[in-house]
Amino acid sequence: MGSEGIAFYLFAAIAIGASLLVIAQRNPIYSVLLLIASFGALSGLYVLLDAPFVAVIQIIVYAGAIMVLFLFVVMLLNAPHEDTEFDERVHPLLRPGPMRFGAFLALVLAGELFWALTRGGDTGAFPGGAVTSVAVIGRSLFTDYAFPFEVTSVLILVAMVGAVVLARRDDPRERRDRGGA
C-alpha cells in the first residue's frame, strides 16, 4: 500500500468517524464542529483525486461559510439540547420505535449500495490525464455551462430574499403603520 492508499484510508476514516459523531452528538454545536472536521477530510480526498479547485472551495465555501452560518444559528437559538418525549438519558441513537426503524432503513440502504458496488468487479486504477487546471474548469464554466451559471446567480438572489423575508420578525406595530399609510 503506497502513500496514496495510506492517505485515502486516513481521510476516509476521519470522514466516516466525524460524520457518525455528527449524528450521535446531543449538542448541535459539537455536531457542527465535527462536520467541519469531516469536510476537511473530504477536502483531502479531493486533493487525492487531483481536484485542487474543489478541495479549496470545499474548505472556503463549505467549512468557512455554510458551517459558520449553521454555527451562528445554533448560537442564536441557544437551544443546545434535543427536547423530545423520550428520556433525556437515553442516547438519541438508541431510542425506540419509528426512529429505530429509520436507522434500520439507512443500514439497508448502506447494504444495498455496498452490494451494488462490490459485485461489479474491480474498476482498476484511475487513468492518467486528470483535469487539475482551474483555467480549464473556468473556461468550461463560462462557455459550456454559462447558462446554468447565470441561473445559479438568480437562485442565490432568490435564496437571499427568501431568507430575509422568512427570518424577519413580524412586528404588529409595524403592520398597523403600513395598514394606515
Report the site for other proteins in 60-99 (rule: CB under 8 A): 61-62, 65-66, 69-70, 73-74, 76-77, 79, 82-85, 92-93, 95, 99
Instruction: Map residue 9 onto helix, strand or coil.
Output: helix
DSSP string computed for 73-96: HHHHHT--S---SS-TTS-GGG--
Taking the complex as a whole, the smallest distance from the CB of residue 177 to other proteins amounts, in Å, to: 21
Taking the complex as a whole, the smallest distance from the CB of residue 180 to other proteins amounts, in Å, to: 25
Phi and psi angles of residue 69, each rounded to the nearest 5 degrees, phi first: -60, -45
Rg (CA), the chain: 22
The C-alpha angle with vertex 25 and arms to 21 and 27, in degrees rounded to 5, equals 140
Site string for other proteins, 114-133 (x = CB under 8 A): x--xx-x-xxxxxx-xxx--
Give the residue, chosen from 88, 90, 160, 175, that forms a contact with other proteins under the rule CB under 8 A.
160
Give the residue, chosen from 10, 90, 146, 155, that forms a contact with other proteins under the rule CB under 8 A.
155
**What whole-number distance in Å separates Cα of residue 35 and Cα of residue 57?**
16
Binding residues for other proteins restricted to 2-21, rule: CB under 8 A: 2, 4-5, 8, 12, 15-16, 19-20
Q: In a 10 Å sphere around its CB, with 0-12 CB exposed, 13-18 middle and 19+ buried, how is residue 64 labelled?
A: middle
Closer residue to other proteins in complex, CB, 123/181: 123
Give the residue, chosen from 31, 37, 59, 64, that forms a contact with other proteins under the rule CB under 8 A.
31
**What whole-number distance in Å separates Cα of residue 120 and Cα of residue 117?**
6
Taking the complex as a whole, the smallest distance from the CB of residue 39 to other proteins amounts, in Å, to: 7
Taking the complex as a whole, the smallest distance from the CB of residue 31 to other proteins amounts, in Å, to: 5
Closer residue to other proteins in complex, CB, 112/180: 112
